[in-house]
Structure 1
Amino acid sequence: MTAIPEPSPPAARTSRAGRNLPAAIAVGVLLLGLVGASLWFRPEPFVALVAVVVGAGLWELRTAFARRDIVLPIWPLLVGGVGMVVSARMGGPEGLLVAYVLTVGAATMWRVLDGPGRAAVRDVAAAAFAATYVPFLAGFVVLLLGLPGPQDDRWLVAVFILLAVANDTGGYIAGVLFGRHPLAPTVSPKKSWEGMAGSVLLTTAVGVVGAHWVLDKPFLPEAGLPWLGSSLVLGLVLGVMTAITATVGDLAESLLKRDLDLKDMGSLLPGHGGVLDRVDSMLVTAPFVYLVLTVAVPGPAA
């Protein structure tokens, strides 16, 4: 009697972007809830969460660079990365800059003491890149907690997070439904100009609502107000700028992964890849959002 073969288990549902869609949605909702919970009572849990993300991102870079025999001095980078996050909270922009310089200096000394030569120069350059790309840029998210405003400064961080979510969501939906023209086919073939337009539309909508509700700005420009004094103008600036900088950040990481012959920077987050795959666009966007809000919110930064 011929045995009936057992049916193979169903393959995980994947999106046009090549991801496990249910896992990606579940992890995304979980991460959003984690960020919201960390901001709910006091800012310190959120600062700790940023420090954890920085550490995980640096570790992923260390593993990825090792594929090209590049050795990151990981311990001074980890200690300095956490120091940058804490310094951004306690000392503002000046504290972040001082901690950044000390981190690069410590990583340089650590690596040079292991032995000079051309390899040391390469590793030191990689360490400076890692310190800049992950903890220094992440420090600007923490700096948002030091900006004054009509509402609690944690709402400014919430607006930044929602802008990043809107960028990904708008780009994904528009790309899947209407994507026909590749944006950068040699770097990220699945990104399209239509997806970029979707990102701009949704981030602008979130920016306008956030500026009106969180910063309590009038919807239309009024005489006597600065050029960022209305939620319409500020929302347009935040929306367009977020879509552009987030796309640049995503493409930059895609270029880095292509050079390292990697699909993902890690596998910690199902459906997303590694931590850096999730926050790459946020890292590049954070300094620009901080600078715009520094101009837009009343009063000096704390």
Structure 2
Amino acid sequence: MSQPDAASEVVASRATRTGRNLPVAITVAVVLLAAVASSLFYRKELFVGLAVIAVCLGLYELGKAFSVRDIRIPLLPVMVGTAGILISTYISGPEALMVSFALTVGAVVVWRVIDGGGIEAVRDSAAGLFAAAYLPLMGGFVMLMLAADDGPIQVAIFILLAVANDTGGFFAGVKFGRHPLAPTISPKKSWEGLAGSFALTMLVGVIGATFFLHMNPVVGVILGLITPITATVGDLAESLIKRDLGLKDMGTLLPGHGGVLDRLDSLLLTAPFVYLMFSSASGLPV
């Protein structure tokens, strides 16, 4: 067998086992992290804009996925509400998050009823409420982190925790994975991979909390325990939605990763817990 053929077989074998093109996936991940870091530490408002775009793309993918079952999410009011939720939360805090979310919910229902009544309107409105709670509401907690004086560092650690969860789980699962975690929902996830997620997120959490936020190391330990649970539940929840809709990925915008929503799923459910941990940790002794 020639060397090029052998190399092709290795790449094909890795792609089969991991379910993705690893070099492409790594390249896309590095580009995304660079864009996020640049916006975070150059000007906070740029990150807010990036977040609005990412959430709106996720909403578009969710709407397209739901259309497979003839469910029409009222995307326009949800997307307008997304901009309102994220921007107002960054500027004015938790009260703005709740008020803007409530206004978005009202707009979704009114918009869909005006477009036509009946059982379809109830179904589509419910899907719109789910979309608003799933994406912009959860994203609002990231804006609350960002608004703090050390907001860029908080958000960076939050993102790195999610990256550590995915990375630790991925490599531990590929190397040692033998026992499926949820075979009927996500066959590639394993208990060994989850252990890898706990190990790496614990390390990132302790280093981030202790050396960059100057918090008690216990905060980092708690973050290392919480993140793999919330991120895995978020990932499995999206996998369950995709399974029910008969889809492999929510989209194709990110080569090697699937869609934008496939990258946001583990971040969304984790955001409120990390925010609450950071906001309550200020009272702990260092």
TM range (shorter): over 0.9
Counterpart CA distance in 2 for 1:154 and 1:270 is: 27
Deviations 1:23-68 (A, max 9, x none): 1000001101010001122210001100000110110011001100
Counterpart CA distance in 1 for 2:202 and 2:85 is: 31
Residue 256 in structure 1 maps to residue 241 in structure 2: yes
The aligned counterpart of 2:125 is 124
Q: Residue type matched to 1:163 in 2?
A: L
Q: Summarize the alignment of residues 96-111 of structure 1 with structure 2, pairs less than 5 Å apart.
A: 96-111=97-112
Residue 285 in structure 1 maps to residue 263 in structure 2: no
Shift of 1:297: 2.6
Q: Unaligned 5+ residue runs, structure 1? A: 1-6, 218-229
Shift of 1:15: 5.2
Q: Secondary structure at the match of 1:84?
A: helix
Residue 84 in structure 1 maps to residue 85 in structure 2: yes
Shift of 1:115: 1.2
Counterpart CA distance in 2 for 1:116 and 1:297 is: 50
Q: Secondary structure at the match of 2:93?
A: helix
Q: Summarize the alignment of residues 175-214 of structure 1 with structure 2, pairs less than 5 Å apart.
A: 175-214=173-212
- Kept in 2, the 8 Å contact 1:147–1:294? The answer is no
Q: Residue type matched to 1:153 in 2?
A: G
Give the structure with higher Rg (CA).
Answer: 1
Shift of 1:298: 5.2
- Kept in 2, the 8 Å contact 1:67–1:260? The answer is yes
Deviations 1:126-172 (A, max 9, x none): 00000000111011111101234xxx321011110110110000000
- Kept in 2, the 8 Å contact 1:209–1:235? The answer is yes
- Kept in 2, the 8 Å contact 1:93–1:143? The answer is yes
Q: Summarize the alignment of residues 147-166 of structure 1 with structure 2, pairs less than 5 Å apart.
A: 147-148=148-149, 152-166=150-164
Q: Secondary structure at the match of 1:183?
A: strand
Deviations 1:101-135 (A, max 9, x none): 10111010000111111111100100000000011
Q: Residue type matched to 2:237 in 1?
A: A
Counterpart CA distance in 1 for 2:274 and 2:38 is: 22
Q: Residue type matched to 2:227 in 1?
A: T
Counterpart CA distance in 2 for 1:284 and 1:23 is: 26
Q: Residue type matched to 2:262 in 1?
A: D
Counterpart CA distance in 1 for 2:188 and 2:268 is: 21
Shift of 1:213: 1.1
Report the RMSD for the aligned CA atoms in angstroms.
1.5
Counterpart CA distance in 1 for 2:103 and 2:78 is: 10
Deviations 1:230-251 (A, max 9, x none): 21x1111001100100000000
Q: Which has the higher helix share?
A: 2
The aligned counterpart of 1:236 is 221
TM-score (norm 1): 0.88
Residue 25 in structure 1 maps to residue 54 in structure 2: no
Q: Unaligned 5+ residue runs, structure 2? A: none
- Kept in 1, the 8 Å contact 2:153–2:213? The answer is no
Counterpart CA distance in 2 for 1:258 and 1:235 is: 34
- Kept in 2, the 8 Å contact 1:164–1:281? The answer is yes
TM-score (norm 2): 0.93
Over 2 Å off, 4+ runs: 10-13
Q: Residue type matched to 2:107 in 1?
A: A
Residue 215 in structure 1 maps to residue 216 in structure 2: no
Q: Secondary structure at the match of 2:181?
A: strand
- Kept in 1, the 8 Å contact 2:91–2:147? The answer is no
- Kept in 1, the 8 Å contact 2:69–2:245? The answer is yes
Identity of aligned residues (%): 59
The aligned counterpart of 1:267 is 252
Q: Residue type matched to 2:26 in 1?
A: I
